[in-house]
Amino acid sequence: MADCDADPSVMAWAARYTRNPRQFENQLRQVLPRLAYVQQVASQYDVAGEFVLLPWVESHFRPVAARRQRPAGMWQIMPATAGTMGLRVDGRYDGRLDVPAAAHAVMKLLKQYHDQFHDWRVADYAYNAGEFSVRKLVQQHGAPGSEPVIPELPVRKGTRAHLTKLLAIACVVREPGRFKVKLPTLPDEQQLVQVKIPHSMPISRAADHAGMSVDTLKDLNAAFRSDLVDASAASYLLLPASHARHFQDALLAQPATDTPDGLAYDVAAKAVTAATANSTTPRRTHTVRRGDSLWQIARSYSVDIRQLQRWNHLDGRALKPGQVLQVSGSN
């Protein structure tokens, strides 16, 4: 994508990010394990390298906790969007905070946006403002030219700033000396790796096996919303390489005492899932009003558009005022 001098606003944000060089270096050093992991995932999807830095713009790579109908995770994904991306979100597990799952889902989505718009800048607009609104703008105004670097599609000010900030942090990484900063390096033992878990277990036990604090393990695996590492939700933990070896050695050393408890937790987790599935909560419905779209309804009820279509036997997305739609599964 564009270089540092492509637009004055890019340089302005780059200077703002590095106003305090030491502070910037410390911030980057803290998030480097996650950044390096995202880079590995991005390379699998042939996504423009600048998007490895997208979580810096969204959250500074923080695992932002979920709140009601609010974006969450370091990618700041809305609940409804998570459903369309194939990320599970419920009371026990939130895939938006699962670093591997969310990274793969986002990179796949960005690749789809680029395949559709053939422009990484417009792909960023779509990520921030939504695919459908950006597609409508492109249909009305045409695909943007290479100049200006920040496309002049009539998007919100915040959407335009989102792309500017992405190009700005990429500018700093591309030319650190220009901003009097040094980029940190990541030792091999701090590289994040996925470690398969054979069964569910308390987070405190997993932390003990890994030789790390509960808070640190939770921070890296924030998708688990209780004190249980639920293997039925995700069959892995994300750990620094050195702690991953520690975890695996501990599992091998204590099979006799660890496995029965783990199996008990698995049974308990499955029982909770079964109880939820067999509850008698009535189906929720929505009566279509003039101006409603299937996308808006899916977003309001945090469900996937394809699921809405299946529940209501819809071939397309056309709706009629007064039409009653099922917006939850039969429990």
If you average pLDDT over residues 81-103, what whole number do you get? 92
Asked if 143 and 122 touch (Cβ cutoff 8 Å), the reply is: yes
Whether 299 shows a pLDDT value over 70: the answer reads no
Give the CA distances from residue 90 to residues 66, 104, 232, 329, in Å, rounded to whole numbers and listed in that order: 10, 19, 13, 14
Q: 121-179 pLDDT, tens per residue? A: 999 999 999 999 999 999 999 999 988 999 989 999 999 999 999 999 999 999 999 99
User: Do residues 31 and 147 both lie within one domain?
Assistant: yes
Report the C-alpha gap between 208 and 186 in whole angstroms. 24
When comparing pLDDT for 6 and 176, which is higher? 176
Phi and psi for 146 in degrees, rounded to 5? -70, -20
pLDDT at 2: 79
What share of the chain has pLDDT > 70, as a percent? 89
Report the C-alpha gap between 329 and 112 in whole angstroms. 28
When comparing pLDDT for 64 and 274, which is higher? 64
User: Do residues 111 and 246 both lie within one domain?
Assistant: no
pLDDT at 327: 77
How many alpha carbons lie under 13 Å from residue 301 in its C-beta half-sphere? 20
Whether 325 shows a pLDDT value over 70: the answer reads yes
73 exposure class (CB count in 10 Å sphere: 0-12, 13-18, 19+): buried
Let me know if residue 331 belongs to a domain. Answer: no
Let me know if residue 146 belongs to a domain. Answer: yes
User: Do residues 174 and 219 both lie within one domain?
Assistant: no
Q: Which of 155, 179, 203 is the last residue of a domain?
A: 179
Report the C-alpha gap between 56 and 250 in whole angstroms. 35
Tell me the one-letter amino acid at 10.
V
Check which CATH number belongs to the domain holding 289 and give it: 3.10.350.10
Q: Could you list the residue range(s) of the whole structural domain that residue 238 is in? A: 188-277
User: Do residues 231 and 304 both lie within one domain?
Assistant: no
Whether 272 shows a pLDDT value over 50: the answer reads no
Q: Which of 144, 179, 214 is the last residue of a domain?
A: 179
When comparing pLDDT for 149 and 329, which is higher? 149
Whether 330 shows a pLDDT value over 60: the answer reads no
Let me know if residue 98 belongs to a domain. Answer: yes
Let me know if residue 53 belongs to a domain. Answer: yes
User: Do residues 298 and 260 both lie within one domain?
Assistant: no
Check which CATH number belongs to the domain holding 103 and give it: 1.10.530.10
pLDDT at 118: 95
Give the CA distances from residue 65 to residues 27, 98, 117, 176, 303, in Å, rounded to whole numbers and listed in that order: 19, 11, 32, 31, 20
User: Do residues 262 and 292 both lie within one domain?
Assistant: no
Residue that is written with structure tokens 């599935």 in the block: 277
User: Do residues 204 and 127 both lie within one domain?
Assistant: no
- Residue 255's pLDDT band (boundaries 50, 70, 90)? low
Report the C-alpha gap between 52 and 310 in whole angstroms. 35
User: Do residues 165 and 242 both lie within one domain?
Assistant: no
pLDDT at 258: 45
pLDDT at 329: 64
161 exposure class (CB count in 10 Å sphere: 0-12, 13-18, 19+): middle
Let me know if residue 204 belongs to a domain. Answer: yes
Find the length of the chain: 331
- How many separate domains does the chain show? 3
Residue that is written with structure tokens 């299946």 in the block: 310
pLDDT at 256: 46
Q: Which of 117, 145, 179 is the last residue of a domain?
A: 179
11 exposure class (CB count in 10 Å sphere: 0-12, 13-18, 19+): middle
Asked if 158 and 128 touch (Cβ cutoff 8 Å), the reply is: yes
Q: Helix and strand tally (H, E) in the chain?
A: 14, 6
User: Do residues 159 and 201 both lie within one domain?
Assistant: no
- Record the tokens describing residue 258, joined without a space: 């660890």
Phi and psi for 328 in degrees, rounded to 5? -145, 160
Whether 15 shows a pLDDT value over 60: the answer reads yes
Lowest mean pLDDT among 61-65, 142-146, 302-306: 302-306
Q: 197-214 pLDDT, tens per residue? A: 999 999 999 999 999 999
User: Do residues 211 and 270 both lie within one domain?
Assistant: yes
User: Do residues 78 and 14 both lie within one domain?
Assistant: yes
Let me know if residue 133 belongs to a domain. Answer: yes
If you average pLDDT over residues 58-66, what whole number do you get? 91
User: Do residues 130 and 192 both lie within one domain?
Assistant: no
